[in-house]
Each structure stands twice: as structure tokens, then as C-alpha cells.
A = this chain, B = another copy of it.
Amino acid sequence: MLSANIEIRDYLANLIAEYNAGNGGHFTAGRLPSERELVEQFSSTRITVRDALTKLEAEGLIYRSNRRGWFVAPSRLVYDPSSRVNFYLLAAQQNKTPATQLISQRCIKGPAETREALGLVAKEKVIELVRLRSLNGRPVLFETIYLPEQRFPKLNKARLEGSLTVLMEEEYAVQICHEDNRIRVSAVYDQVAESLSLINGAPCLEVTRIRYEGDRKAFEFDKEYWVHSAIELSIPSK
């Protein structure tokens, strides 16, 4: 005996599989029926329908766009954190159209975790860049980048929506010697959730990165929050 929410999930999962395989245009522009339509169709309640949708979201089969509806998730971006390919190139290689929006830029003291990672002392400040990155118009990554102000004076504002790696190489002669990535499942809230069109407390993939140059001097600290259905990590050995 299947529970009602699983029955609805299975029904939708089937439609989605057919839709993705090109068999059957069950959805217009990838949009699922509204929650209330599904309630009617299955003689159920919104709680149960939303249970089913939340499960499909957790699986990465669908995603939500705030108060606009639920949509079939496109194929994932495959990303190897240990490679140094930048976002634009990566997206282009996988036939996706990338975009970056600079949300804010400040020069602050910065949180303790950041200061420690960057080895800052006394009154040294950090530049905080907050950016939102999209694939085919869908926001998928909310990132906060911290850079020691001393190492990157007079940052070129015109280039903050492009590849920072390239900027740092060209204008500051940065040579990465090492990089440490930490990856965990976490949840998004407030500005992050809103920017990614997710609800408060929705699961996400959180990447924390520290980059080192020269003789192991940290020059960059990043926090990335990925819409989990948008990404798959590829990690080869060695």
C-alpha cells in the first residue's frame, strides 16, 4: 500500500521522465500543474501534494520558482572543483548560457571564519563580493567572495561580473599554488534563499573554498551555495 504522497510523486516522476526523453509534451515550458490542480486530480490536500513536490525537489527532478510554480529541472552542470576551468567556460562547454550579477561589494572587517582562513591580523580588512550566477536565466549559485584588501588594492569594478580568476591573474599576477574545497549539504535562508528562488530552509550544496598562492599564502575565501538540482560534482582521483 503506497501512501498518497508517494503515489503523486510516482505519477509526476513518470511524466517528467517521458518529458525529458522527448516523449509527450506533458508540460508547457516545463511547468508542472499548479498545486491546486493536483489536489483536485488526486482528491487530496495541498499538504500531501506539497509533500510529493518537495520529494521531487529533493531528488533534483524539479525546482521551484518563487510563487510562479514548479518546473522540470534541466540537466545538471558537471563541475570538477579540482580543475581550474572558470564558470563561463564550463557552462559553454556544456551548452548552457551563463550570466553573473554583482549583488554587493563592501570593504569590511569580515566574519571570524573568514579572517582566520585568510590569516588576517589587526585592522586588515577584506573586500566582500556577493554574486549571483545563472544558467539559461535560472539562478543556480549564490556566492560570497572574500579577498584581503591589502593584496587587491583598487579592484577593477568593471570586471567584477566576469571571471575573477582571470582578473586576478592579469591584474595582480596571482599564481594559485593550492586550493582546498569543503563540500556539504546545507540549507539556505533569507537573502540566499530569495536570490535562488528557494524557500527558507531548503537544502542546498555548500562549497567552502580557500585558495593559496606562492608559499601557501591564502588570498581568497569563498562560500558558494548551489541550487542542488543544478549541479553534479565530478571528482577524479589524483
Which residues on A are within 8 Å of B, measured CB to CB?
3, 5-6, 9, 47, 51, 54-55, 58-60, 76, 81-82, 84, 176, 178-187, 200-205, 228-229, 231-238
Q: A82-B235, A235-B235, A236-B178 are in contact. Are A60 and B185 (CB under 8 A)?
A: yes
A179: which of B9, B59, B76, B237 is its contact (CB, 8 Å)? B237
Listed residue (A178, A179, A185, A236) with the most chain B CB atoms within 10 angstroms of its CB: A185
B residues within 8 A CB of A58?
185-187, 201-203
Task: Evaluate contact between A181 and B59: CB separation under 8 angstroms.
Answer: no
Do A228 and B178 form a contact, CB below 8 Å, given A200-B55, A235-B82?
no
The 8 closest A-B pairs by CB, nearest first: A55-B201, A185-B228, A179-B237, A58-B187, A183-B233, A181-B235, A59-B187, A203-B203
Chain B residues closer than 8 Å to A6, beta-carbon distance: 200-201
CB-based contact B183/A237 at 8 Å: no
Contact in complex: B232, A205 (CB < 8 Å): no
The answer to whether A54 touches B183, judged by C-beta atoms less than 8 angstroms apart, is: no
B60, A186: Cβ atoms closer than 8 Å: yes
With A81-B235, A82-B235 already in contact, the answer to whether A185 and B203 are too (CB < 8 A) is yes
**Which residues from B are CB-within-8-Å of A176?**
237
Question: What separation, in Å, do the CA atoms of A10 and B182 have in the docked complex?
Answer: 25
Please determine whether A187 and B82 come into contact, CB atoms closer than 8 angstroms.
no
A185 in contact with B205 given A180-B236, A237-B82, A238-B178 (CB within 8 Å):
yes
Chain B residue nearest to A61 (CB atoms) is B187
B184 in contact with A232 (CB, 8 Å): yes
- A19 and B233 alpha carbons, distance in the complex (Å): 34
Q: Which residues of B contact A84 (CB under 8 A)?
A: 237
> How many Å from the CB of A165 to the closest CB on chain B?
13
**Complex-state Cα separation, A58 to B189, whole angstroms:** 11
Which residue of chain B has the shortest Cβ distance to A184 in the bound complex? B232
B185 and A236 contacting across the interface, CB-CB below 8 Å: no
Q: Assuming A201-B9, A237-B82, is B184 touching A231 (CB within 8 A)?
A: yes
